């Protein structure tokens, strides 16, 4: 029996032209109001968001799920990043120790990299940094997100963004639950060919499916036990197939 999780997948191309902005942060993606990294020493973030928003090279990938776990409990468990590999198969490994906003997010590997052509070069560098981590001003949204760039020989070939947003939900059943949104998009010179546009779209779609399966499993553990115990989650979710 499948867990009762409602989700909607959005795959819509972003607007085709950059828009002048007078305020920071830009409203992209319009998925949460949690503060973002604004360290100018990392990059021109204002330009970065505008260029990613304007890109039409691939559709933004976004999935929204209703998860039958109360917001406070789900957020507390999700925030234990050392456990991600036990329930979300997107993460193959994670040895990051500093989760401060703007900190590097490099010591993480993924299970589903894009099969680009030509393949990634041996000297590929992949600097990541944490763009969001924490709550909005009134505590009704929690977000964790990171930006990434892929470079070779000092030349950027891809840049992109992953964001998880969690919100509380009490629907007509009056049972506390959560709404989870996972957003992803990539752009850059490597995506100028159709084959690589497809490769990146497929890879990010697989990431969304990993997220869906992971949160479905967390709901199943919560429904069965009334808690999100790390050992129970690992036993149930590591090889979970709904």
- How high is the pLDDT of residue 57? 94
Per-residue model confidence (pLDDT) at position 11: 34
4-18, 26-40, 163-177 — most confident range:
163-177
Band of residue 74 on the pLDDT scale cut at 50, 70, 90: very high
3-state class (DSSP) for residue 138? coil
The predicted model gives 55-83 an average pLDDT of 95
Angle, helices 194-225/230-237, rounded to nearest 10 degrees = 130
- Mean per-residue pLDDT for 57-69? 94
Q: Say if residues 107 and 99 touch (Cβ distance below 8 Å).
A: no
Domains and CATH numbers, the chain: 6-10+65-237 (3.30.530.20)
pLDDT at 135 over 90: yes
Q: What is the mean pLDDT of residues 166-188?
A: 92
**Sequential DSSP letters for 79-106:** T-GGGHHHH-TTEEEE------TT-B--
Percentage of the chain beyond pLDDT 70 is: 85
Strands (DSSP E) contained in the chain are 6-12, 60-67, 91-94, 108-110, 128-135, 142-152, 155-170, 176-187
């Amino acid at each position: 029996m499948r867990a009762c999780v409602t989700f909607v997948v959005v795959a819509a191309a972003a607007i085709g032209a950059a828009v002048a902005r007078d305020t920071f942060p830009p409203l992209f993606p319009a998925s949460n109001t949690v503060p973002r990294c604004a360290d100018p020493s990392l990059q021109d973030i204002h330009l970065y968001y505008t260029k990613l928003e304007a890109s039409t090279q691939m559709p933004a990938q976004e999935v929204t799920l209703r998860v039958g776990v109360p917001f406070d409990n789900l957020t507390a468990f999700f925030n234990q990043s050392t456990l991600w590999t036990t329930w979300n198969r997107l993460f193959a490994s994670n040895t990051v120790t500093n989760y401060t906003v703007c900190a590097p997010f490099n010591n993480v590997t993924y299970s589903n990299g894009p099969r680009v052509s030509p393949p990634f070069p041996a000297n590929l560098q992949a600097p990541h940094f944490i763009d969001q981590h924490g709550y909005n001003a009134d505590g009704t949204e929690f977000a964790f997100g990171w930006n990434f760039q892929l470079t070779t020989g000092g030349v950027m070939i891809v840049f992109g963004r992953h964001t998880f947003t969690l919100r509380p939900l009490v629907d007509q059943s009056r049972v506390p639950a959560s709404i989870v949104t996972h957003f992803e998009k990539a752009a850059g010179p490597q995506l100028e060919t159709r084959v690589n546009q497809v490769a990146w779209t497929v890879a990010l779609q697989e990431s969304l499916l990993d997220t869906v399966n992971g949160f479905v499993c967390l709901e199943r553990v919560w429904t069965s036990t009334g808690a999100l115990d790390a050992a129970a989650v690992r036993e149930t979710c590591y090889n979970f197939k709904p």
